């Protein structure tokens, strides 16, 4: 099968890095050509699209949502893994009449036969009123089997979260470490608020679906279930400090 779009896209760089900037700038034709006919997009507001006739409308909807909110995007960091890349940034825009600054992450997973799946993680929290999109339920990520390459330190933190063992989870962080929640709020370890944040989570099932780890940051895609609620896709970005412990955990989920 050949790509039906031509000529080649002018957008250069990793797809995870260019996806949101292209939507914010309205460069939809080039983004559409870059995605081609072997792509799938999973968006928290507009759902999944995996064909030529469904991808372009989804891109148009997201670009309109960003344009109406006067969105700007700041790229923060990129992580390259064996089978997927992750990009993290900050999206500033107006939602339901309120100025918001949202952490946002994009994962581009490379699959067989040049297929690619792009998943977006952020929590826009729209009301669905006034023409704004309402959040769609997302299918959970299927676990990829035993996690390959998951560092033991990170695995111990995740096990602590699963078991509701706050002390075990805290032990993997630097004293100056922090957790950043999906709304961009920070919880510092040395002030005790990180422990309170983890305690409030309670026991939480975390099923790992894939990892991008460049040695400094490990971006882990997972399905999480909080306190008996519905399963939800999530991205957990563990950034290591100079001590080898985790200096920052950034959480992206709805």
pLDDT at 1: 39
Residue 191 lies in a domain: yes
Report the range of poorest mean pLDDT among 5-14, 43-52, 71-80.
Answer: 5-14
Residue 6 lies in a domain: no
pLDDT at 134: 58
pLDDT tens, position by position, 200-245: 988 889 999 999 999 999 999 999 987 778 888 999 999 999 999 9
Q: Of 121, 138, 166, which residue sits at a domain end?
A: 121
Task: Name the band, by pLDDT with cuts 50, 70 and 90, for residue 4.
Answer: very low
Residue 143 lies in a domain: no
Q: How far is residue 237's CA from residue 249's CA, in Å, rounded to a whole number?
A: 6
Average pLDDT estimate for 46-56: 90
Mean pLDDT of the chain: 88
Residue 3 lies in a domain: no
Owning domain of residue 216: 152-253
* E strands, 113-245, in order: 116-121, 173-180, 186-188, 204-213, 217-226, 232-240
Average pLDDT estimate for 134-138: 62
pLDDT at 127: 53
Residue 221 lies in a domain: yes
Residues 173 and 249 in one domain: yes
- pTM for the predicted model, two decimal places: 0.89
Residue 131 lies in a domain: no
Residue 130 lies in a domain: no
pLDDT at 2: 39
Q: How far is residue 51's CA from residue 119's CA, in Å, rounded to a whole number?
A: 15
Residues 171 and 243 in one domain: yes
Residue 104 lies in a domain: yes
Q: Of 79, 103, 121, which residue sits at a domain end?
A: 121
Residues 86 and 165 in one domain: no
Residues 75 and 159 in one domain: no
Q: Does 154 have pLDDT greater than 90?
A: yes
Residues 99 and 47 in one domain: yes
pLDDT at 226: 78
Distance of CA 61 to the CA centre of its chain: 19
Q: In this structure, how many other beta carbons lie within 10 angstroms of the beta carbon of residue 74?
A: 12
180 SS3 class: strand
117 exposure class (CB count in 10 Å sphere: 0-12, 13-18, 19+): middle
CA distances from 162 to 13, 24, 113, 199, 207 (A): 37, 37, 36, 11, 10
Residues 109 and 49 in one domain: yes
Total domains in the chain come to 2
Q: Does 139 have pLDDT greater than 80?
A: no
Share of the chain above pLDDT 90, in %: 70
Share of the chain above pLDDT 70, in %: 87
Average pLDDT estimate for 117-144: 70
The domain that contains 235 carries what CATH number? 3.10.450.50
């Amino acid at each position: 099968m050949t790509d039906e779009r031509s000529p080649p896209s002018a957008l250069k760089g990793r797809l995870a890095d260019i996806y949101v900037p292209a939507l914010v700038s309205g460069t939809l034709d080039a983004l559409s050509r870059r995605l081609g006919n072997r792509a799938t997009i999973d968006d928290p507001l507009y759902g999944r699209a995996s064909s030529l006739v469904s991808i372009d409308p989804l891109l148009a909807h997201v670009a309109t949502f960003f344009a109406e909110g006067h969105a700007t995007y700041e790229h923060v960091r990129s992580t390259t893994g064996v089978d997927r890349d992750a990009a993290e940034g900050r999206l500033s825009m107006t939602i339901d009449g309120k100025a918001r600054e949202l952490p946002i992450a994009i994962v581009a997973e490379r699959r067989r036969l040049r297929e690619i799946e792009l998943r977006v993680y952020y929590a826009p929290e729209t009301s669905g009123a006034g023409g704004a999109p309402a959040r769609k339920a997302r299918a959970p990520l299927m676990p990829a089997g035993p996690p390959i390459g998951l560092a033991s330190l990170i695995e111990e933190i995740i096990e602590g979260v699963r078991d509701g063992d706050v002390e075990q989870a805290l032990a993997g962080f630097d004293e100056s470490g922090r957790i950043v929640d999906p709304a961009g709020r920070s919880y510092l370890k040395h002030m005790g608020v990180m422990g309170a944040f983890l305690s409030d989570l309670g026991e939480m099932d975390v099923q790992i679906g894939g990892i991008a780890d460049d040695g400094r940051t490990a971006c882990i895609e997972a399905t999480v279930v909080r306190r008996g609620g519905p399963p939800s896709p999530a991205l957990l970005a563990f950034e290591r400090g100079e001590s080898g412990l985790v200096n920052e955990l950034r959480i992206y989920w709805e």
